[in-house]
């Protein structure tokens, strides 16, 4: 049994129900039939793929947009249920630093130098 909650109106009211949702593929097929499971899997995979295409098609930090061929190559390598590897702390810091104004960068650099001298 799983609990499923859904918003039921624009005010954000929610209703929670319990539902007997099988845990294995075999049990799902037994309960709903193979074609229903295939159709639901395809629909869910399509939605995930659409989200991946949207995120892959966004401009990078320099404003560059991938070509359709580059998006297609990324889609070909995509697997449902997976996410892009998380960025390291250093990669995140670099991206944040790149978005700063020259004045903010100078201030941040001064803070970093000061912090490194304190170690």
Q: What is the pLDDT of residues 45-96, one digit of tens each?
A: 999 999 999 989 988 888 889 999 999 999 999 999 887 666 678 878 888 8
Which of 42, 23, 25, 43 is closest to 33 using CA atoms? 25
62/28 same-domain check: yes
47/65 same-domain check: yes
- What would the mean pLDDT of 2-16 be, rounded to a whole number? 96
80/28 same-domain check: yes
| Residue 99 belongs to a domain | yes
Provide, for the chain, the percentages of residues in helix, strand and coil under a 3-state DSSP scheme, each rounded to the nearest 5: 55, 10, 35
108/95 same-domain check: yes
| Residue 32 belongs to a domain | yes
Specify the pTM.
0.61
């Amino acid at each position: 049994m799983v609990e499923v909650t859904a918003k039921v109106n624009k005010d954000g009211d929610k209703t929670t129900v319990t539902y007997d949702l099988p845990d294995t593929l075999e049990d799902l097929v037994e309960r709903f039939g193979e074609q229903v499971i295939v159709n639901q899997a395809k629909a869910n995979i399509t939605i995930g793929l659409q989200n991946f295409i949207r995120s892959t098609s966004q401009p990078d930090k320099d404003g560059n947009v991938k070509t359709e061929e580059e998006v297609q190559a990324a889609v070909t390598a995509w697997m449902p249920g997976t996410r892009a590897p998380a960025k390291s702390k250093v990669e995140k810091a670099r991206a944040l630093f790149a978005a700063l104004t020259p004045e903010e960068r100078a201030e941040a650099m001064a803070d970093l130098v000061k912090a490194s001298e304190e170690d």
